Each structure stands twice: as structure tokens, then as C-alpha cells.
Structure 1
């Protein structure tokens, strides 16, 4: 006669099921967390580009180096390119491009902002 295992109550049969369900859901949680961090990095780069554009435009309106002011205005970990755009008689326009840092495997490009300031006479 074969050995028959005694039937376990329902609760004891399901031991470990919650851990397995959590392990199955863990990749989804990681992807959502990475997307949230990446979205924060995009917003941070856009904010830094706006700050750099305003600082560069203010420096250019005072007839100083716009690129130097842009570089000093952003975090040293970010790459910034500041172009002294159109300079009119009464105002100067500067465009700043800040590279978006990524934690995902593809390039997201640059955050670009433009600022215009009146020329200080």
C-alpha cells in the first residue's frame, strides 16, 4: 500500500505564495521607480537650462561672456552649451542647451531654454 500524505489545511498549503507573487511583481516596481527617477532628471535638466539661459542673457546684456555665465550657473556635473543668440539694440537673447543625464540605455537629447534680457546701457 502506497504512502498517502495527510492533507494539510488550506492555509498551510499556500505557504510562500505571497513571496513568489512579490518576486513576480518586483520587475514592474523597478521599472516604475526608474521611470520616476528619469522623469525627475529631465525636469532637473530643464530647470538648469532655464537658469543657465537667464544667467547668460544677463551677462550678455552687461557685455560679458555669456558662455562663462551659463557654465557657472549650472551644476558642474551637467554639460552646458550657451549660444549668444540675436543681439539687438535694446535686448539680447541667449539659448542654453543642457544634456539630460540618463539612467536608461538611450540618449534623451538636450533640454533647451531661451532667455531675453534688455541691454544695460
Structure 2
């Protein structure tokens, strides 16, 4: 004996065929992306600015150490040595000064201007680092 297949019969008033298609949302996705783009740009710029600020702090430490080392060993051009030790694009806004020069040790302080990602928008101040080195026999 053969199995019977059971088929639903459509009501007289029921539509037979594929289900009706929904009308597509025209342009909704594009509008949503346009709303998120400014937020994503701000987050990206903030991340880049944070990276530049951290790099400026690191460069200030490098300049202070190089200046203190040069001054302690040779009593030479410590400011020039400190500026030569850092990136050229940060060296222009860098101030290096001795904050304590004694007989046994010397302390040099470097102040590096933190550049802005968008020029003219904000002043992020200066990154300041100091380094102390023992004075060797000259």
C-alpha cells in the first residue's frame, strides 16, 4: 500500500503562491552609516592624538637623558645634544634647561610641545621630563 501525501488545500479566499514581498527599506542603511561616520572619525582622531601625546612624552624623556649625559660627561652643548636625540618635527618646539647642576650630579629638564592632529583646534600643552646623571671627572 502506498503512503498518501497530505497537502494543504488553500482556502477559496486565500492567495496561492509565494508570500507577498515586503517593500525594501530604500536608503535606510546609507542614512545609518552617515550618522556613524562623524562618531567614528572623532574616535579615530582622539586615538591618534593620544598616540602623539604619548610619543611626545617619550621624546621629552629621551631629550632630557641625552642632554644630562652630554652635560655630565663633557660640559658641552647639552641643549644641542638633547634636540639632536629626538625627532626633527618635535625638536623645534622643545625647550631644554638645566634644573640643577651640582658638583656630583646634573639634572636637565626637557619640555616638548604636544602637537595637535588638527592644527589650530586645541593646545595640548607641553610634555615635561627630567633626567639626572652623575658628573664624571672631566
Would you say same fold, with TM above 0.5?
yes
Question: Structure 2: how far apart are the matches of 1:15 and 1:116?
Answer: 66
Is 1:80 the counterpart of 2:91 in the alignment?
A: no
Larger radius of gyration: 2
For structure 2, list consecutive stretches of 5 or more residues without a partner in the other structure: 1-19
Question: Structure 1: how far apart are the matches of 2:82 and 2:21?
Answer: 69
For structure 1, list consecutive stretches of 5 or more residues without a partner in the other structure: 1-7
Question: Structure 2: how far apart are the matches of 1:24 and 1:94?
Answer: 49
Question: What count of residue pairs does the alignment treat as equivalent?
Answer: 113
TM-score, normalization by structure 1: 0.88
TM-score, normalization by structure 2: 0.78
Is 1:117 the counterpart of 2:133 in the alignment?
A: yes
Q: Following TM superposition, where does structure 1 have runs of at least 4 consecutive aligned residues deviating by more than 2 angstroms?
A: none
Write 1 or 2 for the structure with the bigger share of helix. 1
State the superposition RMSD in angstroms: 1.3
Is 1:9 the counterpart of 2:25 in the alignment?
A: no
Question: Structure 2: how far apart are the matches of 1:67 and 1:97?
Answer: 12
